């Protein structure tokens, strides 16, 4: 999917919501455990109930890998279902990969070609040759971890080297890589005060912003400092939406939560 197609969907749906499909079998409604594939049954219900309210889905691959072959098959079924039924949706493999070049090439092939995700999250710590293999895929996006919302982010990302924070070096350096136009960046919602500085470096790039809702991030602040002329934001909510209820009406409860965020986004976009 091209960036222009993503922007078109945002404008059409009046939403820049991304829903994280982080499926924990201990948290899904118990009646689904009787299904042949409980993970896919849960995802399918959530997707069918919320697809008109969001522009992206983001399965965190750890939640599938943890269940071995069955989990991987559920991930494959989920992405195939989205691609076939709702091809307008932008898909993100939240895999946080990043390794030496030939290994990254295989990771990129696995997620962007074999599973046909539109994008994959990548850690930049190993530098250019660990990221460029992902950037080589046409009309696919690499979402670089820039400034995350976890407590340990302060261990390295905000450390100052020669009067500049490390995450700023990452942003600036990434712009020099081959096919850098295919880069997006992860910036945690709890780091909203950093967004003005980030936009000085990457004014036109899309930002994937997790942490709104359960982690305490504020949507208004993120939009105030992070939005650009093409909106430029994908706001992710996972637990706050998909685990809104563990009753038989869980999918409708998820849709209600998604709609609350979508309505808030619609108001912001109208301004």
Catalytic residue annotation: 96
Rounded distance, CA 56 to CA 7, Å?
12
Angle (nearest 5°) at CA 264 between 258 and 267: 140
Question: Rounded to a whole number, what is the distance in angstroms from the first to the last CA of the chain?
Answer: 27
Beta bridge partners of 161: 164
Give 218-241 as a DSSP string. -HHHHHHHH-BTTB-EEEEESHHH
Phi, psi for 47 (deg, rounded to 5): -65, -45
Rounded distance, CA 122 to CA 93, Å?
10
Rounded distance, CA 198 to CA 196, Å?
5
The residue count for the chain: 271
């Amino acid at each position: 999917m091209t960036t222009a197609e993503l922007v078109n969907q945002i404008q059409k749906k009046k939403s820049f919501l991304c829903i994280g499909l982080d499926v924990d079998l201990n948290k899904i409604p118990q009646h689904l455990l009787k299904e042949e594939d409980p993970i896919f049954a849960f995802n399918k219900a959530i997707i069918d109930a919320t697809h008109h309210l969001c522009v992206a889905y983001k399965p965190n691959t750890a939640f599938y890998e943890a269940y071995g072959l069955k989990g991987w098959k559920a991930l494959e079924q989920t992405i195939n279902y989205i691609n076939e039924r709702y091809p307008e949706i932008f898909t993100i493999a939240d895999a946080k990969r990043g390794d030496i070049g030939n290994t990254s090439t295989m990771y990129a092939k696995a997620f962007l070609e074999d599973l046909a995700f539109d994008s994959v999250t990548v850690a930049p710590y190993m530098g250019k040759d660990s990221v460029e293999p992902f950037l080589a895929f046409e009309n696919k996006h690499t979402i670089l971890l820039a400034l995350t919302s976890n407590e340990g982010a302060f261990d390295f990302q905000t450390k100052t080297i020669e009067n500049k924070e490390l995450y700023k070096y990452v942003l600036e350096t990434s712009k020099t890589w081959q096919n850098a136009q295919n880069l997006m960046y992860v910036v945690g919602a709890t780091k909203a005060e950093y967004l003005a500085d980030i936009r000085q470096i990457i004014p036109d790039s899309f930002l994937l912003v997790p942490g709104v809702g359960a982690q305490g991030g504020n949507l208004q602040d993120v939009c105030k400092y992070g939005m650009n002329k093409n909106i430029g934001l994908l706001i992710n909510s996972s637990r706050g939406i998909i685990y809104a209820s563990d009753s038989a009406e869980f999918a409708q409860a998820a849709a209600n939560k998604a709609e609350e965020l979508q309505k808030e986004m619609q108001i912001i976009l109208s301004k």
